[in-house]
Amino acid sequence: MDKVFGNEMLLDLGISHVDGLDLTGAILTASCIRQKKKKKKKKKKKKKKKKKKKKKKKKKKKKKKKKKRRRRRRKKKKRKKKKKEEKKEEEEEEEEEEERRRRKEEEEEEEEEERRRRRRKEEEGEEERRRRRRRRRRRRRRRRRRRRRRRRRRRRRREEEEEEEEEEEEEEEEEKKKKKKKKKKKKKKKKKKKKKKKKKKKKKKKKKKKKKKEEEERRRRRRKKKKEEEEEEEEEEEEEEEEEEEEEEEEEEEEEEERRRRRRRRRRRRRRKKKKEEEEEEEEEKKKKKKKKKKKKKKKRRRRRRRRRRRRRRRRKEEEEEEEEEEKKKKKKKKKKKKKKKKKKKKEEEEEEEEEEEEERRRRRRRRRRRRRREEEEEEEEEEEEEEKKKKKKKKKKKKKKEEEEEEEEEEEEEEEEEEEEEEEERRRRRRKKKKKEEEEEERRRRRRRRRRRRRRRRKKKKKKKKKKKKKKEEEEEEEEEEERRRRRRRRRRRRRRRRRRRRRRRRRRRRRKKKKKKKKKKKKKEEEEEERRRRRKEERRRKEEEEEKKKKKKKKKKKKKKKKKKKKKKKKKKKKKKKKKKKKKKKKKKKKKKKKKKKKKKKKKKKKTVMIAQQRTARKILL
């Protein structure tokens, strides 16, 4: 013993002496060493128990700190939620205020439009009354003029006929007088001029012929005059008819213009009514949609709150279960440590199996949690995607409606323009026809061009006045249209601004969601990588432990074989020694004391060398 270990080493190990060469001696040495170490540890444990109590207090403090942290976090989350809800409420209030302002502006604009319409209606009604009065006056004047002209023509004809009759009577009387004078002259000259009868007869014949010719010429002239007068009367009648036709055409044109104006007014009224109805429908739809959105938001909030509460409850339960399990495990470990060391190996193996099972349970729980979280996240994403799809569909519908309205307005404007162009073409054709007729009849109507010129000037003045009025009306209509366009532009700008704001908000939300998703993915990847690393480490540890256990078992088997061989050898040696002792006792009884002393010394030395080597190896391995 002293030679192998040394006194100090033996004392440290708690070995003073060893009896016997069996393997039980090594086990006893190791058990003695452990018992002594336990005694020392028990003394220290009394001191440590106080420390452990302090540590328990610290644990309680840590738990309190954790609870405080959780409370703070909950409070922070609640504050954030309140802030978000307040922001949402403020935004909703701002939107409602904007809508109220828009409604007020639209109502004011509608009131102004109604006032303008009333003024226009009153002005148009007064203008129509004035036009009717003017038409009546014109018709009366024209009738009076026609009556006067007819009366004048009749008087002229009567006077001309009377003059012609008087002229004819005078001519007949003159002829009679001439005939009488001639007869007298003839009687006087008959006697003197019998010879010249022949010549005179000839002359008379010639004169008669001349007279006849003159009479015929007079008759012809009269006939020509009558014809000319008749032609003039016909021309006057034709002119009157043309004037009447022109007046009728003017009246028809005025009536057509009035009809067009009425049509335009009706169309405008219909458009305005449609716009009003559409705007009212849009407002009603917006209100309904807002109500639906609010209801949906409330439902979503309730669902989210319920889900969060359920998640929190699950997490709390899981955390409590984990804490309870950990505490149970700690208690079990403490109990297991108090049991004997021989049973420790079996219990350690069972504990390892339990730990593995617990790790597997934890993994399963984690997987379940992850699955639940993923499912919840997927549900939220699906809801968000459905909302986005619905919004896109609504936008598309609105765009289609607007495009259809714009196309209808453009088509109506094009139809109006085409109608106006056709009317202008018809007017041009009529004017061309009139010009042709005028060119053909200029030769006949040279005498009365002045009247026509005056009439044309009057008509031109009237047309100019009408054109001025039309221009004024058109300018007023254009101003109204420009005002409507400005209002539409303002509305479009406001809608665009709203859309841009909404798009920016959506983009920000999407970016935030994407960032959160990326962070979650990174965390998941890290957790998975860490789990894989832990698994690999555990597997490597298990492999190493299994390999070490296999090696230990092999070494134990080898040692057992060696020990068996040594035991056999020792038994043989003991038998030989006993035989020798018996022989020596018989031969030498006097020298027993000396021989016994020597044998004791030899035995001690042999035991020291052989036993300590085996005990050394076994004790160290057991302690390890």
Q: Write the DSSP assignment of 225-273 as a string of letters.
A: HHHHHHHHHHHHHHHHHHHHHHHHHHHHHHHHHHHHHHHHHHHHHHHHH
Is residue 401 scored above 80 in pLDDT? no
Tell me the C-alpha distance between 71 and 478, whole Å.
69
30 within some domain: yes
Tell me the C-alpha distance between 8 and 370, whole Å.
61
Is residue 355 scored above 70 in pLDDT? yes
Whether residue 75 is found in the same domain as residue 33: no
Whether residue 74 is found in the same domain as residue 112: yes
Q: Are 4 and 619 in contact (CB under 8 A)?
A: no
Q: Which residue has the higher pLDDT, 14 or 519?
A: 519
Is residue 565 scored above 80 in pLDDT? no
Domain that holds residue 114: 64-128
Quote the crossing angle between the two packed helices 197-338 and 24-192, to the nearest 10°.
Answer: 170
519 within some domain: no
Whether residue 118 is found in the same domain as residue 71: yes
Is residue 105 scored above 70 in pLDDT? yes
Q: Which residue has the higher pLDDT, 338 or 524?
A: 524
In which band, very low, low, confident or very high, does the pLDDT at 241 lie, cut at 50, 70 and 90?
low
354 within some domain: no
Q: What is the pLDDT of residues 155-209, one digit of tens each?
A: 777 788 877 777 777 777 877 777 777 777 777 777 676 666 666 677 777 777 7
Q: Would you give the DSSP letter of residue 445?
A: T
Look at the chain and report how many structural domains it folds into: 2
Is residue 147 scored above 80 in pLDDT? no
Is residue 523 scored above 80 in pLDDT? yes
Q: For residue 502, give Cα distances in angstroms to 391, 395, 474, 498, 516.
A: 11, 13, 41, 6, 21
Alpha carbons within 13 A on the beta-carbon side of 364: 6
Contacts of 290 (CB under 8 A, 6+ apart): none
State residue 495's pLDDT score. Answer: 81
Q: What is the pLDDT of residues 589-609, one digit of tens each?
A: 655 555 554 444 444 444 445
Last residue of a domain, one of 110, 128, 146: 128
78 within some domain: yes
453 within some domain: no
Whether residue 37 is found in the same domain as residue 68: no
Whether residue 115 is found in the same domain as residue 76: yes
102 within some domain: yes
- Distance between start and end Cα atoms, the chain: 21
Whether residue 84 is found in the same domain as residue 116: yes
pLDDT mean over 534-540: 88
Whether residue 36 is found in the same domain as residue 73: no
80 within some domain: yes
Q: Taking Cα atoms as reference points, which of 477, 406, 402, 433 lies closest to residue 120?
A: 477
In which band, very low, low, confident or very high, does the pLDDT at 60 lie, cut at 50, 70 and 90?
low
523 within some domain: no
Q: What is the pLDDT of residues 609-621, one digit of tens each?
A: 555 666 677 776 6
State residue 588's pLDDT score. Answer: 65
**Single-letter amino acid, residue 171:** E
Whether residue 101 is found in the same domain as residue 70: yes
Percent of the chain beyond pLDDT 70? 77
pLDDT mean over 511-525: 84
Q: Are 334 and 351 in contact (CB under 8 A)?
A: no
Q: Are 616 and 4 in contact (CB under 8 A)?
A: yes
Whether residue 29 is found in the same domain as residue 71: no
Tracing tokens 């002792």 back to the chain, one arrives at 581
Mean pLDDT of the residues in the chain: 74
Tell me the C-alpha distance between 329 and 24, whole Å.
36
Alpha carbons within 13 A on the beta-carbon side of 431: 6
pTM of the model: 0.21
Q: What is the pLDDT of residues 319-341, one digit of tens each?
A: 888 878 888 877 777 777 777 66
State residue 51's pLDDT score. Answer: 47
Q: Are 21 and 610 in contact (CB under 8 A)?
A: yes
